[in-house]
Structure 1
Amino acid sequence: MTNPDHPNAASQSETASSARPGDEMLPFLNNFHDIFTTIGVLILFTGLFVGAVQFHDSLNLDQQSVAAESVSLLLLGLIALIAWGLSAILVGRQRRILPGIVLCVVFVGCCGTFLAWLYTSYVMPALTNVDPQTAFDHLSVFNQESVRALLNELDWVLRTWPVIIAAVFVVATAIYYLSFRLPFSGGLLGVALVNLAVCAWLVIDPYSLVVFNPLAGLLMGLTLFFAGVIFDARDPARTTRLSGTGFWLHFFAAPVLLSAAITMALNGVRIDPQAEGVAGMIYFPQGGEDGAAVRAAIVTLMVIAVFALVSLLINRRALIVSGLLTTGVALGVLVNQLGLDGAGVVATTLLVLGGIVVLLGVAWTPVRRVLTAPFPNEGVIARIIPSPVHGHEG
Structure 2
Amino acid sequence: TGVVTAGATWLHWRRFMVPITVAVGASALVAVAVGAIMAFVPGSRDAVHPMLLAAGLLVFALAMRWDMTDLERRTRRSDVAFWLHLAAAPLIAHPIFHMLGVFDGAVSAPMAALVLVLYVAFACVALAVDRRALLVSSLVYVLWAMYSLFEQSGAVELAAALTALVIGSALLTLSAFWQPMRRGVVGLLGGLSQRLPPTQQVALA
Whether TM exceeds 0.5 here: the answer is yes
Q: Output the CA distance in 2 between the equivalents of 1:302 and 1:248.
A: 26
> For residues 243 and 357 of structure 1, do their structure 2 counterparts lie closer, same or farther at Cα, with a shift above 3 Å needed?
same
Work out which of the residue numbers 135, 147, 170 in structure 2 matches 1:332: 147
* 1:235 maps to amino acid: D
Q: Which runs of 5+ in 1 are unaligned?
A: 1-164, 267-281
Partner residue, 1:349: 163
**1:247 corresponds to which residue?**
82
Q: Give the Å deviation of 1:290.
A: 2.2
Deviation at 1:335, TM superposition (A): 1.9
Structure 1: which amino acid aligns with 2:14? Answer: L
What's the counterpart of residue 26 of structure 2? Answer: 190
Cα shift at 1:192: 1.1
For these two proteins, the number of residue pairs brought into alignment is: 204
Match of 1:290 in 2: 106
Q: Is the 8 A contact 1:173 1:185 kept in 2?
A: yes
1:300 matched to 2:115: yes
Higher radius of gyration, 1 or 2: 1
Write the distance in 1 (CA, Å) between the matches of 2:136 and 2:24.
17
Shift of 1:359: 0.6
1:31-81, Cα deviation, whole Å (9 max, x unpaired): xxxxxxxxxxxxxxxxxxxxxxxxxxxxxxxxxxxxxxxxxxxxxxxxxxx
TM-score (norm 2): 0.84
Provide the residue aligned with 1:386 in structure 2: 197
Cα separation, 2, equivalents of 1:304 and 1:178: 37
2:72·2:198 contact (CA, 8 Å) conserved in 1?
A: no
Conserved 8 A contact 2:34-2:48: no
The whole-number CA distance in structure 1 between the counterparts of 2:120 and 2:187 is 20
Distance between the aligned counterparts of 1:363 and 1:180, measured in 2?
38
Local SS of the residue matching 1:341: coil
Q: Comparing both chains, which one has the higher relative contact order based on Cα–Cα distances under 8 Å and sequence gaps of 6 or more?
A: 2
Residues 249-288 of structure 1 correspond to what in structure 2 (within 5 A)?
249-265=84-100, 284=104
1:97-136 matched pairs, under 5 angstroms: none
Deviation at 1:186, TM superposition (A): 2.3
Name structure 2 gaps, 5 residues minimum: none
Change (3 A) 1:200 1:316: same
Q: Aligned partners of 2:150 and 2:87: how far apart in 1?
A: 28
CA distance in 1, matches of 2:117, 2:70: 30
Q: Normalised by the size of structure 1, how large is the TM-score?
A: 0.46
Tell me how far 1:316 sits from its aligned partner: 1.2
Whole-Å Cα distance in 1 between the matches of residues 99 and 106 of structure 2?
Answer: 18
C-alpha displacement of 1:355: 0.9
Question: For residues 171 and 298 of structure 1, do their structure 2 counterparts lie closer, same or farther at Cα, with a shift above 3 Å needed?
Answer: farther
Q: Is 1:321 the equivalent of 2:124?
A: no
Measured at CA, do residues 392 and 263 of structure 1 come closer, stay the same or move farther in structure 2, by a change above 3 Å?
A: closer
> How many Å apart are 1:216 and its aligned residue?
1.0
Q: Select the residue among 203, 207, 211 that pairs with 2:46.
A: 211
Distance 1:290 1:314 in 2: 33
Report the Cα distance in structure 1 between the residues aligned to 2:48 and 2:78, rounded to whole angstroms. Answer: 30
- Report sequence identity in percent: 29
Please state whether the residue corresponding to 1:212 is helix, strand or coil. Answer: helix
Distance 2:12 2:163 in 1: 40
Question: Quick check: 1:214–1:264 contact (8 Å CA) kept in 2?
Answer: yes
Alpha-carbon deviations, 1:360-392, whole Å to 9, x = none?
111111111122224457xx7512x23315x56
Q: Residue 198 of structure 1 aligns to which amino acid in structure 2?
A: V
1:313 and 1:297 map into 2 onto residues whose CA distance is 24
Distance 1:283 1:346, change over 3 A: closer
Given the superposition, is the C-alpha separation of residues 265 and 325 from structure 1 closer, same or farther in structure 2, using an over 3 Å criterion?
A: closer
